[in-house]
Every structure is written in structure tokens, then in C-alpha cells.
Structure 1
Amino acid sequence: MAMARIEGLEKGDTKVIRLEQESVKTAVARQLNVMHAVILRDIRSRYFNHGLGFLMVPLMPVAHIVMLLVWYKTMNRAAAYGDDLVLFFATGLIPSLTACYVSRYMSVSVLANKNMLGFPAVHLLDIILARSLLEIFGMLLSVAFLLIIIVSLGTDPFPGDTANAGLAMVSAILIGVGVGINVSVITAIYPFFATIYALFTALIYITSGGPIFLHTYPEQVINIATYNPVFHAVEWMRSSYYTGYSTQYLSKGYVIGWGIGSVALGLLMERLLRPQVMNG
């Protein structure tokens, strides 16, 4: 009798576990389906109402970098490290523009897709995560295009320290996503904030050291720039390419902490301000 009860309990526990596993799978499948739908709508609605318009996402930062590199070459700017001007500035522009572009385009993600919240299956976080994946994929395509261009110019674009270069890129993406989540929630409530942040990204971009080499400026200027987490991503990237590159201003803990902290704060804001966003 006792054995029968034990077997019954075990069968019941197994059934509960299976039901829980199925519910998790169902929830994950729902999340993926919703995000897929949001991404497809985002791609079609942003450029020319056509899926191929997505190519504009990676091409815009590529065009930005190429124009700057052509200008530097025309002005006979010298590389501060190494003997390749294109590679030196590319190592700064790629992480800098990654953080700026990802955060700026994420800032209007909820605002641009707010009507989708009228569907019960679509949640605020779905829109934010879908746009973040879209922007990350777009920037990775941009990097791939740039590598092809740099190789075609006869330059070796691969770093001496691949692991640190990869971590620098991840830190730039993390900052872009984290800040983007925060700004997207605020912009969904106060649309004018999107313009304010777009202007502010210019300051982030300049003080990152990507378009200009800040080490040639007075120490007071560099000390101010060190408050910008993107500056540390740029320094991290360049130090992975050039042996002997000065890392006295680089703080890997600062940029990683900024990235993780901004993502955590953004998710908390999304949770707490969800009613205001829905009713805004």
C-alpha cells in the first residue's frame, strides 16, 4: 500500500515537471514569435517599406566611417600608432559608432512601434529586445563590410590580441544596449527626449576619442573624457591592436560596470514605468 502511494507521488511529480517544462517551452516560443514579428515590422517600416531597406542599417555607419577616413587621408593626418592611418582611426571609430548608433536607434524603438502594444501578445520588453537584436546585427554587418574594405586596401585588419578586441566590442555593444533601453523608456513617455539624446550622442562621440586622438590634448581634457564609458571601449580596442599603447587611462572595470549597470537600470525602468508607457 505504501509503495503504491510512493509510486503515485512520483508519477504526480513527474507530471508536474513535464507540465512546467512545456509551459516554459511555450513561453519561450511565444517570446521568439513575437520578437520575430516585431523585427520584421521594424525592418519594413524604417526604410522604404521594404525588407531590403534593412541594408541601410549597416551601410550608414560604414558610410560615416569611410567619409571620415577619406577626409583624414586627404588632410594627410598621421597615425599616432603604427604606420596605417586607416587602421588606426578605424579601431577607434568602430567601438565609438557602435555604442552611439545602437543607443540612438534604440532610443526611438518604443516610440516607433507603440501601436503594436495594442496587441495583447506584444509586451513593452518585446519591442525593446527586438530592436536591440536588430541594431546589434546591423552593427556586426557594418564591421564585416569595413573589414572587407580595409582588406581591399591592402591592410591587415586583425588585432594582435583578438580576445581583448572582442571584449572591447562587446563592451561597446553592452553600453549601446543599456543606454538605449533607458532612453527608449523615457522617450516613450516624453517623445521630445529623443531629440535631446540625439544631440547628446554627438558629445559622447567626440569625447570617446574615436574621431580624434585625445592623448595629444592636455591631461585635464583626457580626465574629463574618462567619465565617458565609450572612451574606455575605444582605448581597450586600440590597446588590443598596438603593442605599447598607453593604457594609463583605461579602466575595463568601469566600462563593464557601466554596461551591466545600464542594462539592469533599463530593465528596472521598463518594469516600473510600464503603466506610464502604456497610458502615454
Structure 2
Amino acid sequence: MRQNLKRPNNTRSMFNALLDTRNVVTAVILRDIRSRFFNHGLGFIIVPLWPFVHMGVIIIIHSFAHGQPPYGESSAIFYMTGVIPFLAFSYTSRFMGYSLHSNKNMLAFPIVRVFDVVLGRAVLEMLSAFATLGLIVITILLLGENPFPTNIEVAVSAYLATLFLAFGCGFFVAVISLLAPIALTIYQLIIIVLYISSGIFFVPSNLPDALSYFLWFNPVLECIEWLRMGYYESYSDKLVSPTYVISFAALASFLALFIEYVFRRQVSEGP
């Protein structure tokens, strides 16, 4: 007698898993929007203003202090191409690093995974990064400058690669910080070092080869140089390796997933 055995519907199971992930990510985003400023959803409007003001101060100081930019004719464009990728990286990765600590209570629910919480924060920070980019472009236009790249494909690729790098580093720091909270402090110090050494205020390819060789290992510097290639036709690609940037971001993401898998219980419970 033949028995009718029901096979598991893998498609349905995958759909349910994706639906659960979407619901958790949405919940994390809404929770972060309300809790970030003034315990009100409208407080999120302020988030893109921080990096926007940050960049404005840098451009004003260096434009008046130095006059002629290190490269090109416009100080606003040169410093914009340095500040935009750096702030996109630093703000996104840094706040992702805090995501598991600020949403630690949500990990008590079985349906909530570490990756879902980090992904929710990543989506929120990347939306903020794009909003900041829009504000900067509008402001540069109002100043009478042309904020658009000569090679839009190169510029867009560089910016998206920067966000991918921020995701990988932020995910890694978030997972490590639950095992060793001091990682957050160490990462803050790393951000400061990157701020000085990533070529925001100078042209790295003009430095001696012995020094530029060591700077090449800084993926944030490569993102900045990559973006500037989209704005200046004759800009040197000496320190630009898209493969290195993408590989660095992918490796950081893989290590974060691996650590979360191996130490899943410790990560969920925290220190």
C-alpha cells in the first residue's frame, strides 16, 4: 500500500524565513528611529545633518586656510570627494558596531537573529548616508559649483563599494563587541587614525613610494582615491585596487558570520 508522504516545501520555508527577516529588520529600523533622538520618530531627520555639518565645517576651514586645493581648481570639490566616502564609511560602520548593544534585549526573542539586527541598523545608516549625499550635492550646487562627476560609473561604483566596506567592518565590530566590549573603543581609535591617514586633506599618490606603499593597505583611502578618479580625468590610479576593497569588505563580512556561527550562544547572551 502506497503511502502519500508530504515532502517539505522548501520554497515555502525559504519564503517564511525571508518574511521573518523582513519583519525583524523593519522592527529594528522603527525602534532605532524612535530611540535615536528625543524618543520620537521625527528625531531621525537630524541624523543626516551631523555628517553634513561635519563636512561643511571641513570645507570652510580648509578653503579659507589654504586657498588653493591640493588637486584641481575647486576646494569644495576636492574636500567633498574626500569627506563623502570617509563619513559614509565611519558613520555607517561605527553605528553598526553599536547595533547589537543598543538592541540587545531583542536577541532574547528566538525569531531575532544577530544578522537581522545588524542588517536593520545598516539599512538605516545607509539611508542616512544617501540623504547626507543629497544635501551635500544641493549645497554645492547652491554655491555655484558642479558637484557631479565626469565619470559617473566610476564615482557610483566607488561610493557603493565604500558602503559595502562599511557594512563588512561594522558587522565584524558589532559581533566582536559582544564578546569583547573594548572592541568598540579600539574601533573609535582606528577611525581617528583613518581620518588622518586616508587622504581626505592630501593627495596620497604624491607621497614617496615608501610611504604610499603602506597607505595602499588602507581600504578607506582606496575608496577616496577611487571616487576622485570619477571626478578628475587625469587623477592617478596608483593606489586604487577595486578588487582589494571588495575583497576586504567580503572577508570582514565572512569573518563576522563565521564568529557569530561558532560563538552563537556567547554572542546572543553577551558578556
Alpha-carbon separation, structure 1, partners of 2:131 and 2:35: 20
1:249 corresponds to: 239
Which of 103, 119, 124 in structure 1 is aligned with 2:109? 119
Give 5+ residue unaligned stretches, structure 2.
Answer: none
Alpha-carbon separation, structure 1, partners of 2:268 and 2:107: 8
3-state SS of paired residue (1:204): helix
TM-score of the superposed pair, with normalisation by structure 1: 0.90
Any residues of structure 2 matched to 1:53-92 within 5 Å, and which?
A: 53-92=43-82
Shift of 1:16: 4.7
Which of 20, 33, 44 in structure 2 is aligned with 1:30? 20
Tell which deviates more after alignment, 231-240 or 256-265: 256-265
TM-score of the superposed pair, with normalisation by structure 2: 0.93
Alpha-carbon separation, structure 2, partners of 1:220 and 1:65: 30
Which of 162, 176, 192 in structure 2 is aligned with 1:172? 162
Shift of 1:53: 1.6
CA RMSD of aligned residues (A): 1.9
2:89 corresponds to which letter in structure 1? A
1:146 corresponds to: 136
1:198 corresponds to: 188
3-state SS of paired residue (1:209): coil
1:111 and 1:191 in contact (8 A); partners too: no
Any residues of structure 2 matched to 1:200-215 within 5 Å, and which?
A: 200-215=190-205
Alpha-carbon separation, structure 2, partners of 1:103 and 1:225: 20
More helix, by proportion: 1
1:220 matched to 2:220 = no
Alpha-carbon separation, structure 2, partners of 1:21 and 1:249: 45
Q: Provide, for residues 144-195 of structure 1, a one-character-per-residue CA deviation record: whole Å limited to 9, x for no partner.
A: 1101111111111111111111110111111111011110011112222211
3-state SS of paired residue (2:47): helix
2:63 and 2:69 in contact (8 A); partners too: no
1:275 matched to 2:265 = yes
1:266 matched to 2:256 = yes
2:87 corresponds to: 97
2:42 corresponds to: 52
2:137 and 2:147 in contact (8 A); partners too: yes
1:47 and 1:53 in contact (8 A); partners too: yes
Shift of 1:216: 4.4
2:205 and 2:238 in contact (8 A); partners too: no
Alpha-carbon separation, structure 1, partners of 2:204 and 2:25: 40
Q: Provide, for residues 4-30 of structure 1, a one-character-per-residue CA deviation record: whole Å limited to 9, x for no partner.
A: x9xx99xx8xx858x433332222111
Give 5+ residue unaligned stretches, structure 1.
Answer: none
Q: Provide, for residues 96-144 of structure 1, a one-character-per-residue CA deviation record: whole Å limited to 9, x for no partner.
A: 2211111111111101110111122211111111111111111111111
Alpha-carbon separation, structure 2, partners of 1:273 and 1:46: 29
1:174 and 1:263 in contact (8 A); partners too: no
1:165 and 1:237 in contact (8 A); partners too: yes
Q: Provide, for residues 237-264 of structure 1, a one-character-per-residue CA deviation record: whole Å limited to 9, x for no partner.
A: 0011101111122222211211122122
Q: Provide, for residues 176-218 of structure 1, a one-character-per-residue CA deviation record: whole Å limited to 9, x for no partner.
A: 1101111001111222221121111111222111233334443
1:42 matched to 2:53 = no
2:29 and 2:121 in contact (8 A); partners too: yes
1:181 corresponds to: 171
> Which of structures 1 and 2 has the bigger CA Rg?
1
Tell which deviates more after alignment, 228-237 or 74-83: 74-83
1:128 matched to 2:128 = no
3-state SS of paired residue (1:78): coil
Amino-acid identity (%): 37
Which of 233, 237, 255 in structure 1 is aligned with 2:223? 233
